[in-house]
A = this chain, B = another copy of it.
Amino acid sequence: MARDERGVTPQSEDFSSWYNELVTKAQLVERGPAKGTMVIRPYGYRVWELLQAELDGRIKDTGHENAYFPLFIPESYLKREAEHVEGFSPELAVVTHAGGKELEEPLIVRPTSETVIGEMMAKWISSYRDLPLLLNQWANVVRWELRPRMFLRTTEFLWQEGHTAHADEADAMRETLQMLDVYTEVARDIAAIPVVPGEKTPGERFAGAVKTFSIEGMMRDGKALQAGTSHYLGTNFAKAFEIQFSDAAGALQLCHTTSWGMSTRMIGGVIMTHGDDKGLVLPPKLAPYQVVIVPIARGEQADAVLDAVRDLAARLKAAGIRAHVDDRPQVSPGFKFNDWEMRGVPIRLEIGPRDLAAGTALMAKRLGDEGKTAITLADAPKTLIGALEDFQKYLLQRATDFRESRTATVDTWAEFTQAVATGWARTLHCGQAACEDEIKAETAATPRCIPADGPAESGSCVRCDAPSAYGKRVLFGRAY
């Protein structure tokens, strides 16, 4: 592979080309043979595994249990909740033949599992003692995409979908917001994405939900990525699937249900939040390799250096650091430096004969500090644990600063159009669908969410001067 084959279009020149080229060149993903599908390669899948472990632990710590529901859903199930089927119909993949025969009823490949899980909840719940029922599954889902984009919109993707049933609205709303908090924390503390949590406006709600909440991250092109959603479904699915319970007095009542999901889309969010012209930048908590060590020696000294490098890697691994030795004989150190920069490894160590003699290594961070720092081999595990923590914090701060610099509180249409051209606008809006549509047609911006921490405020709509809705400012931006 020649050096120029590794380069990608600089982010600053063409964000979209940068992204599309980088996900393949960094060996995160590859197009699958069927339209819009993706192959997640080991380097990309490891990021997913690390994210999964963090999220799964928090899902279990909040009392949920994992289960698994079928991939195939009878077509009739989808139709039981009117808004739900209307929302998902255009995206469905349908199995019509199986076992060599045409099926009597076509099977839908799940786009989401509210319906089949609703059917099962109705079987499992009879008394108030069975509530709350707190379930989650890790699964693949299929939504036919006309304009697929790796990680962001693919025909098939991986996610977790939580589904819970509760005795009343208050308990279900507590759950909905708790999981929004969990997503906010995972995005911020693990992916170093300073997302904004908030409620969606009615036009952006999940098909079948009473309220939808999301976390929104700002990508480095100023656009928003919805990185997780949490829905309060009211009694809509409970009615459609007869999810009922006897209360303490023996009266039959409908359950209040929720659902919430986070997907492989988050990997796209990590790439677009932290990456730069040179390629990926991975937060240490999600980096398959946190430290890559490049031995620099030829001839007689090569063996001694390689031994020392392997010994160092073993010590780093024992200290819990994901370290990797790049001992490829066929490529130069310079090639390796560029390669691992492009692949986003947080910290690179270089060790040559002189470093070895001095008991040191040269440390280079992927971003932030310029140049290289000599560190002592004896203290390397401790030094690197600290450096990785600092790097994780640095990325979050950098992304927060970037988001703040591109978000404006605006009250006039001129300010609004200027703000959403490069980032986000916090503004008052009338809440009317027709007005949202006009804004979208003119600026490509849509309401991302009503930030949860926004102060109470009222006034007139930035677009049409009608009285503002929601009692708060709404965040608008162009979105993925």
Task: Flag whether A70 is at the interface (Cβ < 8 A).
Answer: yes
Q: Decide if B98 touches A93 in the complex (CB within 8 Å).
A: yes
> B116 to A72, Cβ gap below 8 A?
no
A6-44 interface mask toward B, CB cutoff 8 Å, 1 = contact, 0 = none?
Answer: 000000000000000000000000101110011111100
| Closest residue of B by beta carbon distance from A123 | B30
* Bound-state Cα–Cα, A65 to B74, Å: 35
CB distance from A87 to the nearest CB of B (A): 14
Query: What sequence of 0s and 1s flags, for each residue 133-175 of chain A, a beta carbon within 8 Å of any chain B beta carbon?
Result: 0010001101010100000000110100000000000000000
Residue of B nearest to A135 (CB): B42
Are A39 and B66 in touch, CB under 8 angstroms? no
Contact A40 B65 (CB under 8 A): no
B65 near A46: Cβ-Cβ < 8 Å? yes
Q: How far is the CA of A337 from the CA of B124 in the complex (A)?
A: 22
Judged by a CB distance under 8 angstroms, whether A330 is at the interface is yes
- CB–CB B74/A33 < 8 A: yes
Chain B residues near A354: list those with CB within 8 A: none
Of the four ranges (under 10, 10 to 19, 20 to 34, 35 or more), the interface on chain A belongs to: 35 or more
Is A92 in the interface zone, CB < 8 Å from B? yes
With known contacts A69-B32, A70-B38, A94–B98 Cβ distance under 8 A:
yes
Interface residue A77 (Cβ < 8 Å from any Cβ of B): yes
- Please tell me if the beta carbons of A65 and B42 are within 8 angstroms of each other in the complex: yes
**A96 closest partner in B (C-beta):** B96
Chain B hits for A299, CB < 8 A: none
Rounded to whole Å, the gap between the CB of A112 and the closest CB of chain B is: 15
Copies of the protein in its oligomer: 2
Q: Within A276-303, which residues are at the interface with B (CB < 8 Å)?
A: none
Which residues of B are found within 8 Å of A98, using beta-carbon distances?
Answer: 92-94, 144, 155
- A-B contacts, 30 of them at CB < 8 A, read A32-B70, A32-B116, A33-B70, A33-B73, A33-B74, A34-B70, A39-B67, A39-B69, A39-B120, A40-B68, A42-B65, A42-B66, A42-B67, A42-B135, A68-B158, A89-B100, A90-B100, A92-B100, A93-B98, A93-B99, A93-B107, A94-B95, A94-B96, A94-B97, A95-B109, A96-B96, A96-B97, A98-B144, A99-B144, A100-B144
Across chains A and B, which 7 residue pairs bring their CB atoms closest together, nearest first? A99-B144, A42-B65, A37-B70, A32-B70, A93-B98, A40-B68, A34-B72
Write the residues of chain A forming the contact surface with B, with a CB cutoff of 8 angstroms: 30, 32-34, 37-42, 45-46, 48-49, 65-74, 77, 89-100, 106-107, 109, 116, 119-120, 123, 129, 135, 139-140, 142, 144, 146, 155-156, 158, 328, 330
